[in-house]
Structure 1
Amino acid sequence: MVKLTRIYTRTGDTGQTGLGDGSRVAKTDHRVASYGTVDELNALLGVCRLHAGPELDDALARIQNDLFDVGADLCTPEMDDPPYEPLRVVTGQVEWLEAEIDRVNAGLETLRSFVLPAGSPAAAHLHHARTVARRAERETAALATGAPINVLVLQYLNRLSDYLFVLAREANHEAGGDVLWQPGEHR
């Protein structure tokens, strides 16, 4: 159980922060950028929930909780002999996203053009969240070039951006349809 009795600690006042294993790194470290973007994505999903019906709200609430797992995984470097069992993303979390993508996509029309990130308020916010998920994935991939990470984190973030895409399409389907790119329309 997490217990926070004090919000400010002053330990980060010099540009350093603590990781899950107790080590200290610069706040500009790839690891911090990675889980910081996951946190940003989580906050944006809170905005998406303002525009969600009950079923979508439940799915986004689950994802928000899973994103805390992602952040915990990213902030705890891989250790040979950890003093405790670190929280790691598991295959079931990725598989849930895949099943959801398939379920939602089955009810959508086949795409014949790229989709503009627009439409209903819910769709626009979900598209925004999708782009932040992609940035979190890129930052995590950058982290992985210099440090070992749980590969399931990258898979989760990749599937999450796909899921947010089909959710945005579903939101637009319910509001009249996707906003499609018209190549060269204004040439």
Structure 2
Amino acid sequence: MKIYTKTGDDGSTSLYGGIRVSKTDARIEACGAVDELNALLGVVRVNGPSPSIDPILAHLQNQLFDLGAELATPDASAKGTDYLQDSDVAQLEAWIDQLDPALPMLKTFILPGGSSAGAWLHLARSVCRRAERKLVALDQKSPLRRMVLLYVNRLGDLLFVLARTANAESGTADVPWQKSR
């Protein structure tokens, strides 16, 4: 099978089921943002996160692929691509509840940075928040399952905690925000 089809040369692409839409469609924008987040988690993983973080990131990458399948399917429940479940949101919360108590108490906002893995994870968090905004925009046009929005919101929270965990495990302090005035 060839990797190129030339069917998108006119600025359109296919959703699962064959429906063609513009590459600027809200559904494609959401798929692209989730795909970008997944690719960024791959970058984090090849840059050597700690052994405690890497399995979580591997799990998240697979779930983001599941989410992409649901987003690329206009009627995901009917076509069986609604893979993520409430238990997946609960797992994100469990990881947050497990990791956060071991971190230093926050007394101020922190800047993205610290260790290399921490900085990459902060970038992943900000990309996740953009993906979340794209999902909300899609939801306003074509309602998504509420659980999908909850999942991406919790994922952003988890990525923040993972960034702080990466910093702590490397012995690098979080970077406190200092008012410029």
State the TM-score bracket (shorter-chain normalisation).
over 0.9
C-alpha distance in 2, partners of 1:148/1:172? 38
How many Å apart are 1:108 and its aligned residue?
0.9
Aligned to 1:171: 166
Counterpart of 2:97 in structure 1 is 102
Give the % identical residues.
51
Gaps of 5+ in 1: none
How many residue pairs get matched? 179
Amino acid corresponding to residue 90 of structure 1 in structure 2: Q
Q: Rate the CA distance shift 1:180–1:55 in 2: closer, same or farther, 3 A.
A: same
Task: Confirm whether residue 116 of structure 1 aligns to residue 111 of structure 2.
Answer: yes
What is the match of residue 9 of structure 1?
A: 5
Please give the residue correspondences for 1:23-34 in structure 2 after superposition, counting only pairs within 5 Å.
Answer: 23-34=19-30
Matches within 5 A, 1:64-79: 64-78=61-75
What residue ranges of structure 2 are gaps of 5+ in the alignment?
none
Distance in 1, Cα, partners of 2:50 & 2:76 = 42
Change in 2 beyond 3 A, CA 1:105/1:79: closer
2:16 counterpart (11, 15, 20): 20
Partner residue in 2 for 1:42 = 38
Counterpart CA distance in 1 for 2:81 and 2:57 is 24
Q: Distance in 1 between matches of 2:83 and 2:2?
A: 26
**Cα separation, 2, equivalents of 1:116 and 1:132:** 15
Note if contact 2:76-2:82 (Cα within 8 Å) is conserved in structure 1. Answer: no
- CA distance in 2 between counterparts of 1:116 and 1:10 reads 43
1:55 partner SS: coil
Task: Find the aligned partners of 1:180 and 1:79 in 2 and give their Cα distance.
Answer: 43
Q: Which runs of 4+ in 1 moved over 3 A?
A: none
- Offset of residue 99 of structure 1: 0.3
What amino acid maps onto 1:93 in structure 2? D
TM-score, length-normalised on structure 1? Answer: 0.91
User: Whole-Å Cα distance in 1 between the matches of residues 163 and 62 of structure 2?
Assistant: 20
- 1:158-185 Cα offsets, whole Å, 9 max, x none, are 111110100111111222311111224x
CA RMSD of aligned residues (A): 1.4
